[in-house]
Structure 1
Amino acid sequence: MKRTPSALWIWYRGTDYLGFQRQPGGLTVQEALEGSLRKAGVPYPIMPAGRTDRGVHARMQVASVRLPPFYTSEMLTERIAPHLPPDLGLCVARRPDPGFHAQWSAAGKEYRYRIQLGGTPTEAWRPFVMEPSTEPRLEGSVLRPERVAELLALAVGQRDFYAFHEHSSLRKPRTLESSTLHELGNGLFEARLRGDGFGRYQVRYLVGSALLTAAGALSEEHYRSALDSGTTIPGLKAPAKGLLLWEVRYAPELDPFTPEERARPPGLPQVPPFCLPVGSDSEAAA
């Protein structure tokens, strides 16, 4: 009998994982999730929408999996819960459209990167925030949020981001639809980058290099040249702990998840790094 397809919306804190993809030498998100699935009676591998690197978090990662005959997505939601570790969870499991594939059906993604541009982070947020003062190339710099926002905005458009991702990623035009900076309160800011696809470390290099340019440690001429022609620059790869995969997007006719679920994900912990600080200017937008 045929196995039943299911689309999983999962969240995780990446701090203690070696990344998403299964690999030797330590625990990964994929291993933890597939281990929980086996205990719930689903002994099959998953196919994610993409990979995240060591220390990167996800509010919304999507994975395709096949369920045993007569096993429904509703059954999975109930049966897997006791087997999931505390830093990994399931928001929604749903039978998708027959043409759905977590990776190949994805129309785009949004990443968010948290930066402390003033003051000091609260203890709850510190594990999930970049503190420029701890970066040797930024130490002692005054980073004006409006300048950082201006530099991030320059990256918008379809271009070759070769200077801003690992060269192991395929070199091809990618479209960055928006790149904005939002104040969350108490000196905490959030860069939001939305596009049709991202090379490995692309968000971290874009954010880090914008900060480096805002600090005057990299010339704007070199930064613009890297954006316009892919010219290699001595950029800065911002640390993984500030990065959050916020959302994976699909065309409406293929999207397994409702607009209401996307706005208020069921089962998502309302703690950092998934929540927004109370009173932030971004609460309504999120």
Structure 2
Amino acid sequence: MNLKLTIQYDGTRYDGWQRQGNTGNTIQGKLEGVLSRMAGEAVEIHGAGRTDAGVHAQGQVASVRLPGTWEPGEVRAYLNRYLPEDIAVIGVEPAGERFHARLNAVGKTYRYAIRLGDAPDVFRRKYQLRVEETLDLAAMERAAAVLTGRHDYRSFCSNRRFKKSTVRTVDAIRIVRRGDDLDLTFHGDGFLYHMVRILTGTLLEVGTGKRAPEEMAAILAARDRSAAGPTAPPQGLTLVEVEYA
């Protein structure tokens, strides 16, 4: 049977989502370990997005085929009983036989969280980037408007050897401040390796006056990673939601 899992995790202590040969400390690896024990045989899951080391998820989605017949509630209860406390499965539901969490996704929302000012929020320090400099939010919004749309985002991809198309649609970049908390929310049909973190790093350079909003078009046109800003640290990034048709 094919199941759709909705998962939350604090990525602070993990080496990312994707199972890797040189470490067992991944989100995928932890989930597969518990599911394989439950099923009595090796089980492979497919995530909608391969979040990096230190990145979090509020609504990651994965698909998994299990042998035999299982009640979704039974699978969810077993997973939450044996998973580490910083990984939780918040939803399990039957999926069509052809459902694949990554291949069938039509939209994703990421949020990058920033703490402004000279005082950290001690309860959210693992989930925010501290920025003590004053940011020009109006300039950042003008830059975000240029970066929104359907473009070739190769300049915002860390994988220089990426062979496939780097054209994506980012239909919204929202910049919302509440007191000293600043959230940058990105919605699009898909994102390249480190793309949201590079977009964030570039927008922060605009906010601090290191770049002008008018430079964004030239950065896109360059199709060169060196043209864009730095890759923002992972701890501020959360995969919020994955959408399906």
Q: TM-score, normalised by structure 2?
A: 0.91
Given candidates 198, 205, 210, the residue that maps to 1:217 is 210
* Partner AA of 2:146 in structure 1: L
Given candidates 219, 237, 247, the residue that maps to 2:241 is 247
Q: After the TM superposition, which parts of structure 1 deviate over 4 Å for at least 4 consecutive aligned residues? A: none
Matched, 1:197 2:207: no
Number of positions where the alignment pairs a residue of Structure 1 with one of Structure 2: 240
Given candidates 134, 139, 142, the residue that maps to 1:142 is 134
Structure 1 stretch 141-150 or stretch 185-194: which is displaced more? 141-150
Question: In the alignment, which residue of structure 1 is the partner of 2:37?
Answer: 39
* Partner AA of 2:38 in structure 1: A
Call closer, same or farther: CA 1:112–1:60 in 2, change over 3 Å.
same
Call closer, same or farther: CA 1:40–1:186 in 2, change over 3 Å.
farther
Given candidates 14, 19, 41, the residue that maps to 1:17 is 14
Percent pairwise identity: 34
Structure 1 gaps, min length 5: 134-140, 252-286
SS of the residue aligned with 2:227?
A: coil
Listed as ranges, the matches of 1:1-286 within 5 Å are 4-23=1-20, 24-41=22-39, 43=41, 44-133=43-132, 141-166=133-158, 167-169=160-162, 170-183=164-177, 185-231=178-224, 232-251=226-245
Tell me the distance in 2 between the aligned counterparts of 1:63 and 1:148.
34
Question: 1:215: Cα distance to partner?
Answer: 1.4
* Partner AA of 1:18 in structure 2: D
Call closer, same or farther: CA 1:165–1:18 in 2, change over 3 Å.
same
* Partner AA of 1:194 in structure 2: H
SS of the residue aligned with 1:79?
A: helix
Aligned 8 A contact 1:17 1:26 in 2: no
Tell me the distance in 2 between the aligned counterparts of 1:46 and 1:198.
20
Tell me the distance in 2 between the aligned counterparts of 1:219 and 1:191.
18
Bigger helix fraction: 2
Aligned 8 A contact 2:48 2:62 in 1: yes
Tell me the distance in 2 between the aligned counterparts of 1:61 and 1:220.
32
SS of the residue aligned with 1:153?
A: helix
Structure 2 gaps, min length 5: none
SS of the residue aligned with 1:94?
A: strand
1:7-35 superposed Cα distances (whole Å, 9 cap, x missing partner):
11111010000111111135111111111
1:170-201 superposed Cα distances (whole Å, 9 cap, x missing partner):
34311001001112x33101111000010000
SS of the residue aligned with 1:15?
A: helix
Q: CA RMSD in A?
A: 1.8
1:24-57 superposed Cα distances (whole Å, 9 cap, x missing partner):
1351111111112133336311111120101000
Tell me the distance in 1 between the aligned counterparts of 2:161 and 2:153.
13
Bigger strand fraction: 2
Question: 1:100: Cα distance to partner?
Answer: 1.5
SS of the residue aligned with 1:224?
A: helix
Tell me the distance in 1 between the aligned counterparts of 2:204 and 2:147.
13
Tell me the distance in 1 between the aligned counterparts of 2:182 and 2:52.
22
Question: 1:234: Cα distance to partner?
Answer: 4.9
Question: 1:92: Cα distance to partner?
Answer: 0.6
